[in-house]
Structure 1
Amino acid sequence: MNRIKALIKKPGKRFYVFLVCLLIATFFWVLNALTKEYSLTISVPVEYAGVPDEKVIVNAPPKAVSFRVRGEGFNLLGVSKKDEFEPVTVDLRNYTTFGDDEVERKVVDAGSIRNLVNDELGDYLDIDQLSADSIQVLIEERMAKKVPVELDLNVTVNEQYTLQSDPFSTPDSVVAKGPKSEVRELTKVFTKRLQLDDLETTVNEDLPVVSNSAKMNFEPASVKVTVPVEQLTQGSTKVKIETINLPDSLTLSTYPRVVTVNFKTGLSHFDSIDEKQFKAQVDYSSVLKNQPPKLYVNVTSKNDHVKVISYSPENVEYIIRSR
C-alpha cells in the first residue's frame, strides 16, 4: 500500500505501467461479465387493430405485457437502457372468432404474444414468464341512439331575484354512440354537475355530457346550459274563495267572498298574473270537526314562478244552507 501511495505522489514509468495493467484487467473483467447470461423484467405496450368501424372493444384487454428476458449481458445492455419500447400491434383479424351473434370473443394465445414481442426485441433474447398466458378481447356492434340531456344543477338565486324559467340546454338531446348492449339501455344522459349560488344574472355555460362507460361517446360532447335569472317584482290580485269537501245537499257562503292575495314574481311574468294563478279554499270538513266561528282560508299558487307573500283575510265568516 505504501508503495502505491509513493507511486501516486511521484508518478513515473512504473506508475503508468501499473495504470495500464489496471485498465486492461478492468476491461477483461467487464468483458467476461457481459458474456455471462442475465435476466431482466421489461414491459412492452400493446395496441389492438383490425376492429371494423361499426364495432367496438367492450372489455379492457391489457395495454401492456410484462415478461422476463434472458440473454448475454451485451444484448441485455441495450434493452435495459430503453426508457420505453415501441408498442406491439395485435391485428385481431388474424384470430378466430368465438361467442354468439351479440358478443365476439378473440383469444390471443401466449405463443402469439411471444412472437409479437420477439419481432420487437429480436431473436437474440429468450422470453419467458409472460404476465398473461392469453389475452381475451370482447367485441360488440356499435350503436347510435338519440337521448335527452338532463341537467345536474344545484342553483340558488339572490332573494331579490328569481328564475325566469327552468334551466335548459341547447341542444336538449345528444346522440350516444357505443356498445349496443349499453346504448340500448340508455334513456337519458347527464351533464357534469354545476353549482351556482346567489345568482343575480342569467348564466350561460358549456357543460360536458358525462358517462359511466369509457366506451361511450356523445355528439355533441357538450351542451350549452342556460340558467335564466330576472328581478322580482310584487303585485296583488283578488281571488274568489272556493269550498272543498262540501256535500251536494248543502251550500256554503263565505263573507267576504274573495281574498286579496299579495304575491311576487319575475318581471317577465307580471303582466300575465291574474286570479287564475291562485287557489283560495275553505274546507267543510273543519266544520264537522269543531264548528268554528270562522273558517281558515288556504291560498296557494298554481304557478311555479309565482310565490304568495300574504293574503287577507286569513279567516272568514260563513253560512251553511240546505239546497
Structure 2
Amino acid sequence: MNFFRLIINLFHFNRTNWKAVTLCLLTALVFWFFNALNKDYSTNLRFGVNFLYDEEKYVPVDPLPKDVFMNVSGNGWDLLRKSLGVNLPDMNIPLERPAEVKKIVGSTLPALLAGQLGNLQINHVVTDTLYIEVDPKEKRKIRIAIDAQKISFADGFGRLSPIVVLPDSISVEGPSSVIRQLPDSVLLKVDQENISKDYRDEIEVRFPGDDLIKRNPALVEVIFEVVEWIEVKQKIKLEVKNAPGKVRLNLVKDSVDCLVQIPKSQLEDFGKNVGQVAVLDLQNLKRGDKKLLPQIQGLPVNARLIQVDSVSVRLY
C-alpha cells in the first residue's frame, strides 16, 4: 500500500503546480517552433501569374491562366509568410509575339521566373503546361436591322411606318478569330408581344461569345408606328390602256372587286376617294383568251392592296 501511495503522490499536483508545468511546455514548444523555422524546407506554393503583352493590339480569346504551382525551397520563415499569402509576388511572363504562342511548357518557366522569387529557389514547376490563346485586335462595322416578320401585334393591329433603327450600324472590336466569324448584318428580334401602340424602345445587340466583343453602342433604338387596320371591299372601275389598234376587245366586266386594308382612322376619308382606277395594260398582248391582273392606282396614302380579282379578256 505504501508503494501505491508513493506513486500517487508523484502525480499529485496542486493547481499552481499544473500552471507552471503548462507554461514550461508552451515555452518549450515555442522555442522548438522558432528554431525549426530557421531551417530550410521545400514545399509547393501557388503563385499568381501576369502575362505581359501589348494590350492595345492584342486580346485573349480564352481567359489566361491565373496561377502556377511550383515546388520551392527556402527559409522556414519565408515559406510560412508565402504560404499565408504575405508578400507573395505575382510572376510576370513576357509574351513578345502573343498571337504565335499557344502554350508554355512548365519546365521552361524557371528561367523566366527565377529572378522574381527573392530568397526562394525553384526546385521544379508542378504545373505541367500553361495554355494561352491571344489574337490581334480587330474592329469592323455591322449593320443592324429588325426581323419584321417576327413582330407580335395585337389582333387587328399592325405596323404603319418603316422600322427605324438608330444607329443602323454598330462598331465591334475583339479577337480577330471571333470578329471575322460575325455576319455583315444582324437581325434583332422585338421581344414585346401584342403590340397595339407606337413602338419606341432600346434593344441590346447580342452575338455568340459577345463576352469577348466590345460593342459600340451595345444598345440601338427601334421606332415604328402602329395602327389598327380594317379590311374594306371596293369595286373599282376598269380602264384599258395600250389596246392593239386592229384587234377587237371583249371584256367580261367593266370593274373589278378588290380587298384593301386601311388604318381604321382613315375609313371615312377612304369612302370619299373617287380617284381609284384599275388599269388593264394590253401592250404586246397577242390574240386569244387571257386572264390578267389589273394594276390598282389612286389608292390613298397608307392603303394596302390585299387582293384583286383577275379580268378575262378576249382579243380577236
Equivalent of 2:227, from 209, 225, 230?
230
Cα 1:259–1:192, aligned 2, differ >3 Å: closer, same or farther?
A: closer
Cα 1:119–1:60, aligned 2, differ >3 Å: closer, same or farther?
A: farther
List gaps (5 residues or longer) in structure 1.
243-248, 280-287, 289-294
Q: TM-score, normalised by structure 1?
A: 0.63
| CA–CA separation in structure 2 for the residues paired with 1:4 and 1:266 | 111
Q: 1:306 is matched by which residue type in structure 2?
A: R
| CA–CA separation in structure 1 for the residues paired with 2:220 and 2:87 | 39
Cα 1:83–1:205, aligned 2, differ >3 Å: closer, same or farther?
A: farther
> In the TM superposition, what whole-angstrom CA distance separates every residue of 1:220-263 from its partner, at most 9, and x where no partner exists?
33221224323335545334679xxxxxx996633463215353
What is aligned with 1:221?
A: 218
What is aligned with 1:212?
A: 208
What is aligned with 2:251?
A: 253
Cα 1:50–1:241, aligned 2, differ >3 Å: closer, same or farther?
A: same
Cα 1:59–1:6, aligned 2, differ >3 Å: closer, same or farther?
A: same
| CA–CA separation in structure 1 for the residues paired with 2:278 and 2:12 | 111
| CA–CA separation in structure 2 for the residues paired with 1:84 and 1:305 | 77
| CA–CA separation in structure 2 for the residues paired with 1:4 and 1:60 | 71
| CA–CA separation in structure 1 for the residues paired with 2:115 and 2:63 | 21
3-state SS in 2 of match to 1:30 = helix
3-state SS in 2 of match to 1:162 = strand
- The percentage of aligned residue pairs carrying the same residue is 16
List gaps (5 residues or longer) in structure 2.
1-6, 240-246, 281-288
Q: TM-score, normalised by structure 2?
A: 0.64
Cα 1:195–1:119, aligned 2, differ >3 Å: closer, same or farther?
A: farther
Equivalent of 1:69, from 71, 91, 107?
71
Contact 1:265 1:307 in 2 (8 A): no
> Which stretch has the larger CA shift, 223-232 or 206-215?
206-215
Q: Which has the higher strand share?
A: 1
Contact 1:45 1:85 in 2 (8 A): no
What is aligned with 1:150?
A: 145
> In the TM superposition, what whole-angstrom CA distance separates every residue of 1:110-137 from its partner, at most 9, and x where no partner exists?
5774355455543324352342546666
Contact 1:240 1:257 in 2 (8 A): yes
Cα 1:180–1:68, aligned 2, differ >3 Å: closer, same or farther?
A: closer
What is aligned with 1:16?
A: 19
| CA–CA separation in structure 2 for the residues paired with 1:190 and 1:299 | 35
| CA–CA separation in structure 2 for the residues paired with 1:22 and 1:173 | 77
What is aligned with 1:25?
A: 28
| CA–CA separation in structure 2 for the residues paired with 1:255 and 1:137 | 75
Q: 2:196 is matched by which residue type in structure 1?
A: E
Q: 1:27 is matched by which residue type in structure 2?
A: V
Give the number of equivalent residue pairs. 287
